[in-house]
């Protein structure tokens, strides 16, 4: 599932290429046809991300909410766009003043819907602080973490605790700080959380800037291939059974709350 940095990159791209001008919106697949008709021909005033949620604000006050889920993707193209390929839920195109024409197709999202402003507020109020949003308050997350007996590996994946963290950032952040994913939130110190938050902000900002996750420190990256050509090198994520980059202990794996979990039993004791 795309993590928060991917949604923020998309939001910035759509803000840069479409915001400020009239946008044509359609649903070649048909599943979003009624919603598309409500915003087609309006001005896109703002594109933003909250965690794993993308929000397109239109001058009518209507908002298109997209959650990519496991399979959702946007593909970009210059204008004029060709015939839709595959199941395109939503097609956007526009030519803001001073910008070349731009179009994008959305396929396979978990959600693509029209929201009214109160519904957007209800959505964002349910989310924890987003490390990539200006003014995000890590203490909001800390108040939930240090009162919970749930394992920190589960808490980090709870979007009501921290918005935008997925499986890769969860696994790699815990490794970088030597914290077992099984440690209860009540046993995490305020200092540990402050360090984790600062590191998470820095890592996710790099993800936005370069378009990929960079989680292995240069001194630990010896150039061995990642588990897949299109994936970043990691300390533990999807490296089960492989030797730890620091201590050579085999990386452990289990399922925690229906999501794959990876850690080093030696570097992350507990």
Catalytic residue numbers, as ranges: 2-3, 52, 259
DSSP state at residue 185 = G
State the Cα torsion 136-210-259-52 to the nearest 10°.
40
- Cβ-count burial 216-225 (b if 16+ within 10 Å, e if not): beeeeeeeee
Measured between alpha carbons, how far is 266 from 77 in angstroms, rounded to an integer? 47
The crossing angle, in degrees rounded to 10, of helices 190-210 and 167-176 is 130
Q: Indicate if the alpha-carbon torsion angle 19, 22, 28, 30 is positive or negative.
A: positive
Measured between alpha carbons, how far is 197 from 133 in angstroms, rounded to an integer? 13
| Residue 190 CA: distances (Å) to CA of 16, 198, 243, 259 | 38, 12, 31, 26
Asked if the bond preceding 228 is cis, omega within 30° of 0, the reply is no
């Amino acid at each position: 599932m795309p993590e928060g940095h991917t949604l923020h990159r998309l939001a910035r791209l759509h803000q840069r290429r479409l915001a400020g001008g009239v946008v044509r919106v359609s649903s070649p697949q048909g599943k979003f046809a009624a919603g598309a008709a409500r915003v087609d021909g309006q001005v896109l005033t703002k594109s933003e991300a909250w965690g794993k949620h993308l929000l397109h604000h239109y001058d009518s006050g209507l908002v298109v909410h997209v959650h990519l889920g496991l399979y959702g993707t946007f593909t970009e193209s210059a204008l004029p766009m060709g015939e839709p390929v595959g199941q395109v839920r939503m097609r956007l195109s526009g030519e803001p003043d001073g910008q070349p024409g731009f179009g994008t197709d959305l396929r396979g999202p978990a959600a693509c819907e029209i929201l009214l402003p109160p519904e957007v507020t209800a959505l964002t109020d349910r989310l924890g602080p987003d490390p990539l949003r200006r003014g995000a308050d890590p203490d909001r997350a800390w108040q939930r973490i240090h009162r919970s007996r749930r394992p920190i590996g589960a808490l980090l994946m709870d979007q009501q605790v921290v918005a935008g963290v997925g499986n890769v950032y969860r696994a790699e952040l815990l490794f970088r700080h030597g914290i077992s994913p099984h440690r209860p939130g009540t046993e995490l110190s305020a200092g540990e959380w402050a360090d984790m938050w600062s590191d998470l902000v820095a890592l996710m900002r790099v993800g936005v800037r370069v378009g990929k996750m960079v989680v292995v420190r240069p001194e630990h990256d010896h150039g061995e291939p990642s588990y897949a050509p299109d994936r970043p090198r990691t300390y533990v994520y999807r490296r089960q059974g492989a030797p730890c980059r620091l201590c050579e202990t085999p990386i452990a794996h289990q399922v925690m709350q229906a999501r794959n979990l990876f850690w080093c039993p030696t570097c992350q004791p507990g």
